[in-house]
Structure 1
Amino acid sequence: MVETGTTSSWWRAQLHLHHHRRWIPTFFTTHKTLLAALWITFFFTVFLWQQRSAASGFLIFRRPFTYRAFPKLRPVAFNLTDFGAVGDGVTVNTVAFERAVMAISKLGKKGGGQLNVPPGYWLTAPFNLTSHMTLFLAEGAEILGINDEKYWTLMPPLPSYGCGREHPGPRYGSLIHGQNLKDVVITGHNGTINGQGQTWWKKYRQKLLNHTRGPLVQIMWSSDILISNITLRDSPFWTLHPFDCKNVTVRNVTILAPVFEAPNTDGIDADSCEDVVIEDCYISVGDDAVAIKSGWDQYGVAYGRPSKNILIRNLVVRSMVSAGVSIGSEMSGGVSNVTVENVYVWSSRRAVRIKTAPGRGGYVRHITYRNLTFENVRVGIVIKTDYNEHPDDGFDPKAFPSLHDINYFSIHGEGVRVPVRIHGSEDIPVRKLTFRDMSVGITYKKKHIFQCAYVEGRVIGTIFPAPCENLDLYDEGGHLIRRSTSQNVSDIDYDF
């Protein structure tokens, strides 16, 4: 009875399946024809989608930008196209930018104006900003710098430098420039300002330029500056250069340039600036990711504008040529009260560096590094006192800078060849140096891992690798364990 019931059920199932198969067209009886039908259905669906999308200008396989309305950040807002601009990457839109800025310059008493740059490729020669202005770049908007230097204005040397950084005499101005401004915002939905620096870099290497290359964005003698939510890339020279400015915030900015073959493309150079915050940024460039400066030799001393009260935090940076975060080497006006914290430096030549030389004068003091992480970095912490580049022969060789009160707290990482290289000198000793909570995995197992010369300071608690003999040792409670016998012992090895 059981076998009979099972057999009957099986036959009923087969009859049921046969009944449904009669309704399936014979066209689908093989795998090949079924696959062909699926492809036909797919392309027919895509065709219908493309037809519906054509009105919006989106073509198949091109990534569409989701439209995001421009926020109104000023009482009055303009679109760049209102002034005749064309975003085709070919039309030169300098006049449109200049007309827009002129219109905004008349609105200062009403709270200023906003210039919206819509999606597109907006080729332009250099242009100036105005006070009480917001430059807003939409997602998919890209301002392109024209790469023929004849369109770039020549400007006098920076007063604290005395000459161009690369050549005597004048220098090229920046693609986006501003002087003596107040209340300027450059922001957006992560639009891009692209300096198209490839031609500049090639001419520089071939020694075909007679003047110092221009930055991508430079704002001078100004206050209340906010730069956020944009991408800056491929600058001819330094990327973002605030000079002698107060109250500057750079937040959530991506800065990019090739890590090789893009000379001197520093990410952010805060130069003789006061009250600066640089935070939440990603920077990968062909020189220092961030550099704090304040003038060059006798010109910087005479100009006398220090960089001070600077907070650098929450960065991811990379520099295969120079350093993640640098102070100097042009620091003749002085640098003080700088905090660098929560910074991740990866695949770089150096992580954090202070560099100076005889002839600079000035000082570097009250500097705190906290919660730094190094990964695959050749040299982690560097202080270098023989960075001998000078604007001319007029510097005072006895103008020795002062370096003191420099602190390194909570330093960690792996894949580091030389964790510390503090290279003071008899004329420029490094004083009041502190290390606390340091553990860095090293890739070089021989001597000279923690290098020191003419250094006076202390180590608190246990750190790895073992510190040099120049530093006093304290336990976690701050009790002296061992006094250094000499702060002038030199253990510097540049062979690796």
Structure 2
Amino acid sequence: MRIEGMRLVCGLIVVIVLLNSKKSESRRSKSGSRSNSFEYNAINCRAHSASLVDYGGVGDGKTSNTKAFENAIRNLSQYESKGGAQLYVPAGKWLTGSFNLISHFTLYLHQHAVLLASQDMNEWPVIKPLPSYGRGRDAAAGRYTSLIFGTNLTDVIITGDNGTIDGQGAFWWQQFHKKKLKYTRPYLIELMFSDNIQISNLTLLNSPSWHVHPTYSSNIIIKGITINAPVTSPNTDGINPDSCTNTRIEDCYIVSGDDCVAVKSGWDEYGIKFGMPTKQLAIRRLTCISPYSATIALGSEMSGGIEDVRAEDITAINTESGVRIKTAVGRGGYVKDIYVKRMYLHTMKWAFWMTGNYGSHADSHYDPNALPEIKGINYRDVVAENVSMAARLEGISKDPFTGICMANVTIGLAAKHKKQPWTCTDIQGVTSGVTPQPCDLLPDQGPKKITACDFPPENLPIDMVELKKCSYTMKHA
């Protein structure tokens, strides 16, 4: 098992070296490719295209391009029903505040294009809190609109040749730490009440808060995204599907100051009333580094429900926990039918963590009788090395977490591991082929039960979506 652990570390180092060498090679190239043709894969191709420079865009890193984006998108909206439109962002540094997208639209970033988020707070409109949260997460009032925003849209693509969106979040993090924010920090990308979404082949840096936040949306593909923020930065989650249906997250590499992927569905009484779950979610080939948070978190805002989540081929190194379920009395809702397989962990505080006492509440009006239902949590084919504690599993008194299943799990404890590798209270479940020996509340069913915790055999609808090959020739290279 230690050999497997070393292979994991070596493999991750190779991934990081390749990523860094690719970026170094990109940076060595001169700004602006001489080729004016490019192609990419997308859920839909567009009949019309234009460049940001056609609308007065200036890529010097100093001039505000907020109006250029607004004018370009407003003009291109005439093509929504005529084959759709694409806005091309050439090589350069494009300073901008928040701007809104439209339906049947593609935003495409050249590999040497960098969107720089403005630090002028006048370029960030304030909007109402999310209805399933009832308040802003940083402050009780409203929230700043995300850098790239859209609502009530269909067929939206944000992609590129690994172009970069830099949130320049340090400005916001300082304001947050000093408690000077009147409103909740913006995200980098947020699409609300929308359908048929693709976010792919981009590098996202230093978001003021969460990096990617699809919410109240469906039929979503998030693929080939690199996210990087300081591991000490506050609440810089990677990808947060929130009250979304039929989503796949694939081939993403995330270093962040919070959960790499956080699955959510509303907060306390507001989430219960709104009643929109996250379901039919696939997470594949995710690599995560987050020393103070989880690789995949379910909750803590889960009051609308979370169900049918399938995670496979997950790699995490120097991350606090592998999969973490966060809930509390007052949350209501449920987390059920969760399936995880082929997870490779190295240097963790906990491989598995479930807690029913995550105490943060939206306000004092939550219902103390609203108990969450946690059941059908399945892990199989997990290898972990250098782990301080195998699992911390804490249900709720008179509301136990049930249907926990672990099969073919090997956890290598660190030299200075906790004396008791398992902590289990108010849970029920079974195990098969788990090392070290689990707690008594997770009895071993023997080798004949090794097929326990299997994935559902049927595919999710989002897996049937195939990307088309789109190609364009631009006026501006």
Q: TM-score interval w.r.t. the shorter chain?
A: 0.7 to 0.9
**Do residues 430 (structure 1) and 398 (structure 2) align?**
no
| Pairs within 5 Å for 1:393-472 | 393-443=364-414, 444-445=416-417, 447-460=419-432, 462-472=433-443
One-letter code aligned to 2:120: D
Could you tell me how far apart the structure 2 residues matched to 1:455 and 1:124 are?
49
Match of 1:272 among 243, 255, 271: 243
Q: Is the 8 A contact 1:297 1:391 kept in 2?
A: yes
Figure out how many residues of one structure are paired with residues of the other and give that number. Answer: 420
Match of 1:175 among 124, 140, 147: 147
Which secondary structure does the structure 1 equivalent of 2:157 belong to? strand
**Do residues 80 (structure 1) and 48 (structure 2) align?**
no
**Do residues 118 (structure 1) and 90 (structure 2) align?**
yes
One-letter code aligned to 1:113: A
One-letter code aligned to 2:82: K
Could you tell me how far apart the structure 2 residues matched to 1:132 and 1:59 are?
32
| Pairs within 5 Å for 1:7-46 | none
1:195-244 Cα shifts (integer Å, max 9, x gaps): 11110001111111111101111000000000111111111111100010
Match of 1:338 among 309, 312, 318: 309
Q: Is the 8 A contact 1:400 1:427 kept in 2?
A: no
Deviation at 1:447, TM superposition (A): 2.7
Q: Is the 8 A contact 1:244 1:271 kept in 2?
A: yes
Deviation at 1:379, TM superposition (A): 1.2
One-letter code aligned to 2:402: R
Could you tell me how far apart the structure 2 residues matched to 1:280 and 1:179 are?
26
One-letter code aligned to 1:457: G
One-letter code aligned to 1:233: L
Q: Is there any run of 5+ residues in structure 1 with no aligned partner, and where?
A: 1-57, 480-496
The residue number in structure 2 matching 1:12 is: none
Could you tell me how far apart the structure 2 residues matched to 1:210 and 1:225 are?
31
The residue number in structure 2 matching 1:206 is: 178
Which secondary structure does the structure 2 equivalent of 1:469 belong to? coil
Deviation at 1:427, TM superposition (A): 3.4
Deviation at 1:420, TM superposition (A): 1.2
The residue number in structure 2 matching 1:5 is: none
Could you tell me how far apart the structure 2 residues matched to 1:66 and 1:404 are?
56
More deviation in 324-333 or 140-149? 140-149
Which secondary structure does the structure 2 equivalent of 1:81 belong to? helix
1:457-496 Cα shifts (integer Å, max 9, x gaps): 1012x221111111122112139xxxxxxxxxxxxxxxxx
One-letter code aligned to 1:326: A
Match of 1:383 among 349, 354, 359: 354
The residue number in structure 2 matching 1:288 is: 259
Could you tell me how far apart the structure 2 residues matched to 1:68 and 1:421 are?
55
One-letter code aligned to 2:428: E
Which secondary structure does the structure 1 equivalent of 2:150 belong to? strand
Could you tell me how far apart the structure 2 residues matched to 1:355 and 1:212 are?
22
**Do residues 240 (structure 1) and 205 (structure 2) align?**
no
1:435-458 Cα shifts (integer Å, max 9, x gaps): 100111111455310221111110
Q: Is the 8 A contact 1:118 1:138 kept in 2?
A: yes
Change in Cα spacing, 1:386 to 1:117, as seen in structure 2 (3 Å) is same
**Do residues 358 (structure 1) and 329 (structure 2) align?**
yes
Larger relative contact order, structure 1 or 2 (CA cutoff 8 Å, min sep 6): 2
Change in Cα spacing, 1:226 to 1:59, as seen in structure 2 (3 Å) is closer
Could you tell me how far apart the structure 2 residues matched to 1:131 and 1:258 are?
33
The residue number in structure 1 matching 2:38 is: 70
Match of 1:165 among 126, 137, 140: 137
Could you tell me how far apart the structure 2 residues matched to 1:411 and 1:66 are?
47
1:220-272 Cα shifts (integer Å, max 9, x gaps): 00000001111111111111000100001100011111111x10011111000
Q: Highest Rg: 1 or 2?
A: 1
Deviation at 1:348, TM superposition (A): 1.1
Change in Cα spacing, 1:368 to 1:59, as seen in structure 2 (3 Å) is closer
Change in Cα spacing, 1:446 to 1:170, as seen in structure 2 (3 Å) is closer
Q: Is the 8 A contact 2:141 2:182 kept in 1?
A: no
| Pairs within 5 Å for 1:247-326 | 247-260=219-232, 262-326=233-297
Change in Cα spacing, 1:475 to 1:371, as seen in structure 2 (3 Å) is same
Could you tell me how far apart the structure 2 residues matched to 1:439 and 1:59 are?
41
Change in Cα spacing, 1:89 to 1:396, as seen in structure 2 (3 Å) is same
More deviation in 147-156 or 325-334? 147-156
Which secondary structure does the structure 2 equivalent of 1:426 belong to? coil
The residue number in structure 1 matching 2:462 is: none
Deviation at 1:150, TM superposition (A): 2.5
The residue number in structure 2 matching 1:373 is: 344
Match of 2:168 among 196, 201, 215: 196
Could you tell me how far apart the structure 1 residues matched to 2:352 and 2:131 are?
31
Percentage of identical aligned residues: 42
1:51-84 Cα shifts (integer Å, max 9, x gaps): xxxxxxx999968867462338311110110001
Deviation at 1:330, TM superposition (A): 0.2
The residue number in structure 2 matching 1:10 is: none
More deviation in 105-114 or 305-314? 105-114
| Pairs within 5 Å for 1:90-105 | 90-105=62-77
| TM-score calculated relative to the size of structure 2 | 0.85
Which secondary structure does the structure 1 equivalent of 2:67 belong to? helix
